[in-house]
Structure 1
Amino acid sequence: MLLTPARPAAPVPDRAATGPAALAAAHGLTVSGARPGPGAYARQLWARRHFITALASARQAALYSGARLGQLWQVLTPLLNAAVYFLVFGLLLGTGRGVPDYVPFLCTGVFVFTFTQSAALSGARSLTDNIGLVRALHFPRAALPLAATLTQLRQLLLSLGVLALVVAGVGVPVTTRWLLAVPALVLQSVFNAGLALALARLGARTTDFVQVLPFLLRTWGYVSGVFYDLSRFSAGAPHPLRLLLEANPALIYVSLMRYALIDTVTRAQLPPHVWPLALVWASAAAGAGYAFFWSSEEEYGRG
């Protein structure tokens, strides 16, 4: 009886090598809506810069489209806010006593802080207010809070035009220090963009956060010297508390703009190391806000 050699057993196919993931990888398929790396994500945002600017323009045009005075409210709103704060803080509470050029001092503080406040509020709502757009189209979601910040920047530029008239109207001279408003505004815009990105993620995850945010921002404004000279009230405070107040980013950017536009605001009145602090706050907010928002890119619109 002849014995034939046994045939070797057929190898069991590796399921991992023939599964859906392996087939997708073999054919170059990727997960829909997968989060790109931070560098690739930044390049996608840059590629859509025209979309961001167009969206900001459309929102700015729609802000007061239903009002009879239309876009004039972009100028009237900050002026009315400044008038109310002047009545409360300047006349009733007397916080403007002894402050030279208190009217431009107050208007500058109100306009500059309103930029940060509005960018934070609109950034926090940017994803939830555009949930239909987020679910219907594929684009880097960071475009929405960035467009919201750009909208508020354009609002501020209109307000600064009015502020320049107010400052010149009360007799404050125009000096070369006005040029310092440009780098101060650039740094504040970068800071606001990072803040809007961070708050956009928080607002998308917890809708109740958007309801609490206005109270937090109002409190922030009260401790930022927007309506009064903070140095008068912090002079007798404990040293750690005074350092904390002086490092407040809102105070930093308000102080820089006041120093640029009002000649009676001297360098001695500025917080210590004001320009390095402004740069550090802008860099830290932009970097941390970008990373915080990017890390949840795949989750937006899926809740």
Structure 2
Amino acid sequence: MISDLRQGPDGAFAHRSVLLDSAVDYLVTDPAGQYIDGTFGRGGHSRLILGRLESDGRLLGIDKDPEAITVAQALAASDQRFSYFHGSFADLGEAAARESWSHVTGVLLDLGVSSPQLDDASRGFSFMRDGPLDMRMNPQQAPSAAEWLAQAEERDIANVIFQYGEERFSRRIARLVVERRQEAPIETTRQLAELVSEAVPKKEKHKHPATRTFQAIRIFINRELEDLEAGLLAASHSLVPGGRLVVISFHSLEDRLVKRFMRDLARGPKLPKGIPVTAEQEASDFRLIGKASKAGASEVTDNVRARSAVMRVLERTNHKKTSQGSE
């Protein structure tokens, strides 16, 4: 969900989503359809989707972040075609059921942390700005990153940093975390960033040594990959024939999960060799739309955070529901 965030003349921040136009071009196939923006953020994609919908089209925005929901409430008050749900896109099925929707025409997931979250030091997502070490997309949920680091076992800290950050010095970092917290609590982003810099013996060019560790802890605290798996499954079950799932990811862990999920659905059910089946039984209920897309050079130049964005699109092709086991 990383996007461009610039301060306007009135002091407010303007939010522009990455791959904005192309994502909505793929998503909106029926202007009278029912759509879900599973990562509402500050409404960049949602506003463009609404601009493509007719008067009987509908859009549901979902977000964990209470600050995003405040923006969603204002949009709902100004446009009766829009409604919102405070929660994770993992609960997409429940959110659609509350709207009495039995199916949806398209689902958009713009993954990861948003620029408003990164650029607000009080949220504790970024090592570039000193603030409380929080990292929760929903601050109403526990624990914060600081609370987890204060009580987690050294082995668990190392495993999280290695698994979700692919950090080869995860054990060194975890060991130093445990040593330092015995002296004083690790409560700020600067404390953690400096600790990681000290623990990492080899620095990568043009990359802060704390990048992988901050990513890992954020993903773990917010259950991002678990929610993604659940959200992808819920979205695939909810689509009508011709309906599309559009996913924008920003790091390799997300993209690998999305790529594998979409590829497996497009291939169809895996059946044992020698089982007599019809061509219809072998056929998949889904197909991939195009190849993975990335932001163009002009967008990356204008917004450097767009350089890692990858977009993938999946379409349901027929009425037959895929069983959960085959997905």
Report if TM-score (shorter chain) is over 0.5.
no
TM norm structure 2: 0.23
Pick the structure with more helix per residue: 1
For CA contacts below 8 A with separation 6 or more, give which structure has more relative contact order. Answer: 1
Pick the structure with more strand per residue: 2
Larger radius of gyration: 1
